[in-house]
């Protein structure tokens, strides 16, 4: 249990049974009366923002969130199955939780999972993944005056811009945060 004066930016609290991350925290002491604490919070399940003001003495429950290293196993319709390597317990994540991150998941990939109770509310991928190019047009010779790129389709279905010297069948490193080409990888 936290008092409002103990809260700080980046802490996680539980309001109305849902976890929130404090993204902005402001203290104001008017000339008369109690101190006011203005907070902007992000709902960790829905992603919506909440702006509220509280008075000194208000109390909050700590959000029951746990971050665990897990292994991605498989996709079952709209559910993504992850396994805790310590207990071998399986957890399912909804399609809405995964968003565009689902394109980078490969079987047996190690990820960090944020749990609220027994429910997965966020998945953190490694910053880079190595993927194979399955379709790419050959580069045209002489187009090298500037950094010219061409589209390439990856094994996960995404299309990224790559330099002209990258060919079909090669492996490349892709940034999972920006979906951009990083470098060619020898396999």
Same domain as 38, residue 19: yes
| Pairwise CA distance, residues 120 & 116, whole Å | 6
Among 89, 109, 124, the domain boundary falls at 124
CB under 8 Å to 7, separation ≥6 — which residues?
Answer: 13, 22, 25, 37, 39, 60
- Whether 21 and 44 share a structural domain: yes
DSSP 8-state code for residue 175:
E
- Residue span of the structural domain in which 154 resides: 128-185
In terms of domains, do 6 and 30 share one? yes
Query: Do 31 and 43 sit in the same domain of this protein?
Result: yes
| Last residue in a domain, options 21, 39, 62 | 62
Please list, in sequence order, all residues whose beta carbon lies within 8 angstroms of the beta carbon of residue 112, skipping any fewer than 6 positions away.
67, 68, 69, 70, 123, 124
Domain count, the chain: 3
Same domain, 91 and 48: no
Domain boundary among 101, 124, 147: 124
Same domain, 57 and 80: no
CATH number reported for the structural domain that contains residue 56 in this entry: 2.30.30.30
CB–CB of 12/65 below 8 Å?
yes
Report the predicted TM-score, pTM, of the whole model to 2 decimal places.
0.74
Distance CA 153, CA 168 (A): 9
pLDDT per residue of the chain (187 residues) written in tens, 0 to 9 = 888 888 888 888 988 888 999 999 998 888 777 888 999 999 888 888 999 988 888 898 888 888 899 999 999 888 999 999 999 999 998 888 888 888 888 889 999 999 988 888 889 999 999 999 999 888 766 655 667 888 999 988 889 999 888 888 999 999 988 889 999 988 7
Number of helices (H) and strands (E) in the chain: give both, helices first: 1, 16
């Amino acid at each position: 249990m936290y008092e409002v004066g103990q809260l700080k930016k980046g802490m996680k609290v539980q309001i109305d049974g849902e976890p929130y991350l404090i993204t902005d925290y402001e203290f104001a002491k008017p000339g008369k009366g109690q101190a006011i604490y203005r907070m902007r919070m992000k709902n960790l399940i829905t992603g919506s923002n909440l702006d509220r003001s509280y008075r000194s003495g208000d109390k909050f429950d700590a959000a029951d969130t746990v971050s665990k290293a897990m292994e991605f196993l498989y996709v079952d319709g709209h559910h993504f199955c992850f396994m805790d390597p310590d207990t071998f317990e399986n957890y399912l994540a909804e399609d809405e939780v995964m968003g565009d991150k689902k394109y980078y998941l490969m079987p047996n990939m190690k990820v960090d999972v944020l749990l609220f109770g027994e429910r997965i509310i966020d998945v953190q991928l490694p910053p880079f993944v190595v993927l194979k190019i399955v379709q790419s047009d050959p580069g045209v010779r002489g187009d090298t005056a500037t950094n010219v790129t061409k589209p390439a389709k990856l094994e996960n279905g995404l299309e990224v811009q790559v330099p002209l010297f990258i060919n079909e069948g090669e492996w490349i490193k892709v940034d999972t945060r920006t979906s951009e080409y990083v470098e060619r990888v020898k396999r």
